[in-house]
Amino acid sequence: MEITDLHVRFPTPDGTVTAVRGLNYSVPLGRTLAIVGESGSGKSVSSMAVLGLHDPKRTEISGSIKVGGRELVGLPERELMRFRGAGAAMIFQDPQSSLHPFFTIGDQIVESYRAHHSVSRRVARARAADMLDRVGIPNPGRRLDQYPHEFSGGMRQRAMIAMALVNDPKLLIADEPTTALDVTVQAQILDLIADLQRDFGSAVVFITHDLGVVAEIADEVLVMYAGTAVEHGTVKEVLGTPVHPYSWGLLESIPAVSGSSGMLHPIPGSPPSLLAVPSGCAFHPRCEFRDRVPAGRCATDQPEMTGAAHLSRCHLTEPARIFDTEILPRLP
Ligand code: SF4
Ligand code: MG
């Protein structure tokens, strides 16, 4: 998948919101990109746009979204629907949003398989049972005939993953898929996604605010702030030697990291409203390093993403300080 200069805007009663502003990234097959940022940073909206899960009449999308070389921006709804499911799939925090309460788990997986494969119900059912087995649900034959409410939260999450992967998508987008689960189940689901990715070879975009999860599952990290990327690099680069002041703030606000000194260091202030993104560097009202940049440029000029492989969007030419690189191994 390759995203170039993506913008997503939609009207609200208070004015037009620009939820994504000039986003660029790519994820090759077999790799996992984690997108992190506070809520309202545009991480979910940008991914919904990739799958066309927005109201086309009310949303304005510009730029380019290519999956397997195919341009999705401007594709008619019918073709987008065909692409979804076969080419790409999404799993959410809440399985209720993708599992229908009135149909059995089996029927739902069978339907989504048959929507893209002309096979008999019997063949599709065998495939569905195989998928439940792959995601670690015991007695798949019996489980197929049960309804979502007969599954535990962790099982529903597994069933949703089975449904997302039944058509062997090239791209899997996981939006906070483990946030609602307890720690043990969360670890199992993360392992499962990593295993399935190895088997299926998909590109995975993993949206989360949990940097411990990032350290566990991702190859690369993209940090988003106010609708755009502010830092992008490998997990080792971004979590080990972050260069953007916002990334420093995110890392310092993890309890497990600051725990040793007994101090939690939250980022002051809150994310900006996307109705009125600050001028210059969108992070400048909250940045404790803005005075190090001459001529008040932080408030007037938007920095570009710069760097060779490890990219950052900041006017500071030298990092204002060296981050405590001890931080990476101490992540949970
Ligand atoms: Fe802080 Fe300025 Fe860098 Fe923005 S550009 S992160 S305000 S130092
Ligand atoms: Mg979200």
Distance from residue 130's CA to the centre of ligand 2 (Å): 31
Instruction: Pick the ligand that lies closest to the CA of residue 228.
Output: 1
Nearest-atom number in ligand 1 for the CA of 244 is: 6
Helix ranges (DSSP H) in 98-152: 105-114, 121-134, 140-143
The per-residue pLDDT for 323 is 58
**Candidate from 224, 267, 292, 298 with most ligand 1 atoms within 8 A of CB, to mutate:** 298
d(CA 226, CA 37): 9
Which residue range(s) make up the domain with 132? 97-168
End-of-domain residue from the set 168, 187, 212: 168
The per-residue pLDDT for 154 is 87
Whether the CB of 303 sits within 6 Å of ligand 1:
yes
Whether the CB of 242 sits within 6 Å of ligand 1:
no
The per-residue pLDDT for 326 is 55
d(CA 218, CA 64): 24
Nearest-atom number in ligand 1 for the CA of 289 is: 8
The per-residue pLDDT for 324 is 57
Distance from residue 272's CA to the centre of ligand 2 (Å): 16
Instruction: Pick the ligand that lies closest to the CA of residue 47.
Output: 2
End-of-domain residue from the set 110, 138, 168: 168
CB–CB of 135/52 below 8 Å?
no
d(CA 41, CA 35): 10
- For atom 7 of ligand 1, the residue with the nearest CA is 284
Asked if residue 72 belongs to a domain, the reply is: no
**Candidate from 224, 230, 248, 281 with most ligand 1 atoms within 8 A of CB, to mutate:** 281
What helix, strand, coil percent values describe the chain, rounded to 5? 40, 20, 40
Asked if residue 178 belongs to a domain, the reply is: no
> In the structure encoding, which two tokens stand for residue 331, read together?
């992540």
Asked if residue 242 belongs to a domain, the reply is: yes
Q: Which residues of 159-180 are buried (b: 16+ CB within 10 A; e: fewer)?
A: bbbbbbbbbebbbbbbbbbbee
Give yes or no: residues 240 and 322 share one domain: yes
Asked if residue 286 belongs to a domain, the reply is: yes
Whether the CB of 316 sits within 6 Å of ligand 1:
yes
CB–CB of 124/158 below 8 Å?
no
Give yes or no: residues 158 and 239 share one domain: no
Give yes or no: residues 155 and 241 share one domain: no
Reported ipTM = 0.96
The per-residue pLDDT for 80 is 84
Question: What residues sit around ligand 2, an ion, with C-beta below 5 angstroms?
Answer: 44
Asked if residue 87 belongs to a domain, the reply is: no
pLDDT along the chain (332 residues), means of 10: 94 91 94 91 87 81 91 88 80 80 95 93 96 92 96 90 88 86 82 85 91 90 96 93 89 61 69 92 94 93 93 84 53 48
- Helix 153-165 with 105-114: angle, nearest 10 deg: 20
Nearest-atom number in ligand 1 for the CA of 320 is: 8
The per-residue pLDDT for 263 is 53
d(CA 169, CA 174): 13
Sign of CA dihedral 165, 170, 173, 179: positive
The per-residue pLDDT for 127 is 96
The per-residue pLDDT for 259 is 47
Asked if residue 36 belongs to a domain, the reply is: no
CB–CB of 110/124 below 8 Å?
yes
Instruction: Pick the ligand that lies closest to the CA of residue 320.
Output: 1
Asked if residue 38 belongs to a domain, the reply is: no
End-of-domain residue from the set 127, 153, 168: 168
The per-residue pLDDT for 231 is 96
d(CA 299, CA 88): 39
Quote the number of domains for the chain.
2
Whether the CB of 283 sits within 6 Å of ligand 1:
yes
